[in-house]
Chain A
Amino acid sequence: MMKNIATVFRKEFYRVVSDKRLIFTTILLPGLAIYLMYSFLGGAMGNEFEDIQSHEMIVYVENVPEDFSDYLDTLDLNVIYTDYVPSEHDELLDLILIGEVDLLLRFPTTFNSDIDGGILSDVLTYYNPGEKYSEFSYGVYMTELNTYRQSVAYDRYGEAFYVFTTDINNDEHIIIDEDKAIGQGFAMLLPMLIIMFLFSGAMSIGPDSIAGEKERGTIATLLVTPVKRSEIAIGKVLSLSVISLFSASSSFIGIILSLPKLLQGTGEEISMNIYSMGDFVMLFTVLLATVLVIVGIISIISAYAKTIKEASMLILPFYFLSIVMGMSTMFSGEAHSNIFIYLIPLYNSINIIISILTFEVVATQYILTIVSSLGYVVIFIIILNKLFESEKIMFSK
């Protein structure tokens, strides 16, 4: 039995690895496309950030108090100040609207005396949230105005101004397990991507391997050999799984390589080094079980469909469903504690991947995921076997 499975496996595997076009589209392209896409995205975001940072702010000012002006000078801001002329007020607002001017900052003429006399003084700011430079300039000056406000208030009231303070002498204020925080980040991002990559890898070759063989009439040649249908099913499912794993690995490597570029400018650093060998082994076993389930589903649909096109169409709803499952956990980044969740195919994988990434694996949940996934694979292979035996399915035109 093993011999026939191995023969079918080798041939199916060789079918892909001996075809340069297939190697490129199934194994190289996914990783390359993701790397280029994310690097471009990271590069574009980084450029945007740099562009805003290096922009020379154009700020019109009126009656800026001397102490605030001195304070601003110490900040070394990249800015050109122009004095406000009241008669040109409307024109200036038009310039802000079209993005030629970033900000107008008006202090009342009586600002200093108001402060001294304890009268509430209203500082006016004008900006355009639809223009990135204006929005940025407003952010910068609001921060500095707040600082200035606090210093003025402190001058006036002394420590009484604060009413109360928080955490001035509390060194233990932030209690964080940094590895876990990084893991949480991975847990929000990776499960959906992993399922998507595994699915799209299997989708790119599954329909051709089974529906394609039906369509081209080559499956009949295989069916007249003294090989059990179950051996054909297992051989095909295994080889498709291995190739899907290659394809998913390629996508995964693409993500990992593009992470530094994606995060450039944000100052964050993310590395997979936080995980131990044991975590990786667990992750790998889950991926293996998951890919078998996915390939099982795709194989059944492909055996049922009359053509590659029909198979690809029928697979799409399952693909979307898997993405929805992945997305449902994306925002919480937490695994379910309900034990029955770990019996639902694919959803169990997503949850256990989260548990692994956040260092919260529960042994029973892990075992249940692996065992139930393998159980589903056995059921899928039995169904596939039945489909291969059905003359109606195999020879319907």
Chain B
Amino acid sequence: MQTLEVRNIIKTFKLSKKQQKLEKTKEKLKVAVNDLSFTAYPGEIFGLLGPNGAGKTTCLRAISTLIKPDSGDIIVGGSSVVKDSMDVRGKIGFLTSELKLEDHFTPSYLFTYFGKLHGIDEELIEKRKTVLFSRFGIDDFREVKVGDLSTGMKQKASIAISLVHNPEFVIFDEPTNGLDVLTARSVTDYLVELKHEGKTVILSTHILSVVDKLCDKVGIIINGKMKICDTLENVKKSHPSNDLEEIFFDLIEEDELGGNA
């Protein structure tokens, strides 16, 4: 039951006049995600790849219940994002640059605060805090206000806080952004550890080398559509070059040609 199943979701947005100008279109509606489906299983890392504006963030927002799909559904460990959004929120650990931490508080305070909102007792929160803060090197600045932290420090704090409740489903959007090489490595190592613990991990990134090293499965989204979705091995095998980067660019080219035709 610990699978995360995206079932034919469609999400359209109304474009404001400003957005119409930016997108260079006269269409009032934009289909951000078009009939997207995939399944992520426990004990594996699912990599979501795609250029900017492809629909990755919309898909992740829908999984995290921040937005509702127009049609289709996402089943997270047996709970529907449409019908049981509260249950879903309790099961996932969600990290994206959109979710910010309040400047006035310290990482330690916020960790406890979000822990309580997840219904965890204080003793367990403190235990988790000790483990995660030491793991991501947060101890040195645990009592410093978020507003006074560097981008990398904030990212570390965000990662730890998103994992406060030891979620079964970990959804990370560009988790290594703003991190130095060492910390980035500790994050990717931790993701592998989570996978070995049997967690379902979804990783959205535009860094192909990260996908190459970490992911068991990969889904490439272009223009809101899932172009390819399979194990990393099979995806690579599907192309003579056996190279993820080549496959990625070929798919983009293919889509552009299809769009122009």
A residues near B, CB below 8 A? 3-4, 7-8, 11, 15, 18-19, 213, 216-218, 220-228, 391, 394-395
Contacts and interface: CB of A to CB of B under 8 A. Distances in A.
A226 B90 contact: yes
B116 A7 contact: yes
Nearest to B164: A225
Given A15-B104, A226-B86, A391-B68, A220 B99 contact: yes
Contact of A218 (B87, B90, B102, B116): B102
Given A18-B104, A216-B102, A391 B117 contact: no
A217 B102 CA distance: 9
Contact of B117 (A4, A217, A220): A4
Contact of B89 (A216, A218, A225, A394): A225
B102 A225 contact: no
Nearest to A392: B14
Nearest to A223: B66
Given A222-B117, A228-B86, A391-B67, 18 more contacts: A3-B116, A11-B105, A15-B104, A18-B104, A216-B102, A217-B99, A218-B99, A220-B66, A220-B99, A220-B100, A221-B114, A224-B64, A224-B65, A224-B92, A224-B99, A225-B117, A226-B119, A395-B66
B104 A7 contact: no
B100 A216 contact: yes
10 contacts: A7-B116, A18-B104, A220-B99, A221-B161, A222-B117, A224-B66, A225-B118, A226-B90, A226-B118, A394-B66
Nearest to A16: B104
B100 A217 contact: yes
B113 interface: yes
Contact of B114 (A18, A225, A395): A225
Contacts of A8: 117
Nearest to A396: B16
B101 interface: yes
A228 B119 CA distance: 12
| The 8 residue pairs across chains A and B that have the minimum distance between CB atoms | A226-B90, A217-B100, A221-B99, A225-B117, A226-B89, A391-B67, A7-B116, A218-B102
Contacts of A11: 105, 113
Nearest to B19: A397
Contacts of A216: 100, 102-103
Contacts of B90: 226
Nearest to A232: B117
B160 to A, nearest CB: 13
Nearest to B96: A220
B17 to A, nearest CB: 14
A310 to B, nearest CB: 16
Interface of chain A, main secondary structure: helix
Contacts of B103: 216
A3 B119 CA distance: 9
B97 to A, nearest CB: 9
A268 to B, nearest CB: 46
B111 interface: no
Interface string B69-106: 00000000000000000110110101000111111110
Interface in B116-137: 116-119
B12 to A, nearest CB: 12
A136 B113 CA distance: 67
Nearest to A227: B117
Contact of B104 (A19, A224, A391): A19
A7 B110 CA distance: 11
Contacts of A217: 98-100
Contacts of A391: 66-68
A223 to B, nearest CB: 6
A15 B87 CA distance: 28
Contacts of A394: 66
Contact of A7 (B64, B67, B117): B117
Contacts of B102: 15, 213, 216, 218
Most A CB contacts (10 A, CB to CB) among B65, B92, B113 go to: B113
A223 B88 CA distance: 12
B91 to A, nearest CB: 8
Interface in B9-41: none
A394 B65 CA distance: 13
B163 to A, nearest CB: 13
Contacts of A225: 89, 114, 117-118
A218 B100 contact: yes
B43 to A, nearest CB: 24
Nearest to B113: A11
Q: In the complex, which of the residues B89, B94, B116, B117 has the most CB atoms of chain A within 10 Å of its own CB atom?
A: B117
B117 A395 contact: no
A143 to B, nearest CB: 64
A213 B100 CA distance: 9
Contact of A226 (B87, B101, B104, B105): B87
A225 B118 CA distance: 6
A3 to B, nearest CB: 8
B130 to A, nearest CB: 21
A4 B86 CA distance: 13
B80 to A, nearest CB: 15
A220 B92 CA distance: 14
A218 B101 contact: yes
Contact of A221 (B86, B87, B101, B119): B101
A360 B191 CA distance: 70
B176 to A, nearest CB: 19
Nearest to A4: B117
Nearest to A8: B117
Interface in B139-162: 161
Contacts of B119: 3, 226
A41 to B, nearest CB: 36
A18 B87 CA distance: 33
A8 B102 CA distance: 13
B3 to A, nearest CB: 20
Contacts of B64: 224
